Amino acid sequence: GDSVTQMEGPVTLSEEAFLTINCTYTATGYPSLFWYVQYPGEGLQLLLKATKADDKGSNKGFEATYRKETTSFHLEKGSVQVSDSAVYFCALSDQGAQKLVFGQGTRLTINP
């Protein structure tokens, strides 16, 4: 079945550092790809998405590019802030299916 694999966490960085969280997927069709973020004590929020190969999703300084050839959707940010501390989930939604398949989540902590 479809699956999503994220890099192991937790990840700890200093403020203004460059961030990469790796995400790869396995799917039989042509999925749409998502990054969700979960702040402490809250539900998940959509951060960005991409619906076809080579699309780039971006929001709040975060970016991710849909790479079909490497089945990847890595999350990047050039300069992280303390407020970016959260758990980040990569997910896919296969064609014709409404349900999301999530990765295991990566906990990010940014120190001042």
Residue 49 or residue 74: which is nearer to other proteins going by CB? 49
Does residue 40 have a cis bond before it (omega within 30 degrees)? no
In this structure, the strands spanning 106-111 and 11-14 are parallel
Determine the distance from the C-alpha atom of residue 5 to the mean position of all C-alpha atoms in its chain, rounded to a whole number. Answer: 10
Using CB under 8 A, pick the residue from 74, 84, 93, 106 that binds other proteins: 93
Stretch that binds other proteins, among 9-17, 37-45, 58-66, 70-78 (CB under 8 A): 37-45
15, 80 contact by CB (below 8 A) = yes
73 binds other proteins (CB under 8 A): no
Q: Is 46 helix (H, G, I), strand (E, B) or coil?
A: strand
Residue 26 or residue 51: which is nearer to other proteins going by CB? 51
Shortest Å, Cβ 91 to other proteins = 9
59 binds other proteins (CB under 8 A): no
Classify 52 in phi/psi space as left (phi over 0), alpha (psi -120 to 50) or beta: beta
Shortest Å, Cβ 14 to other proteins = 27
Contact positions vs other proteins (CB under 8 A): 32, 41-46, 49, 51, 89, 93, 95-105
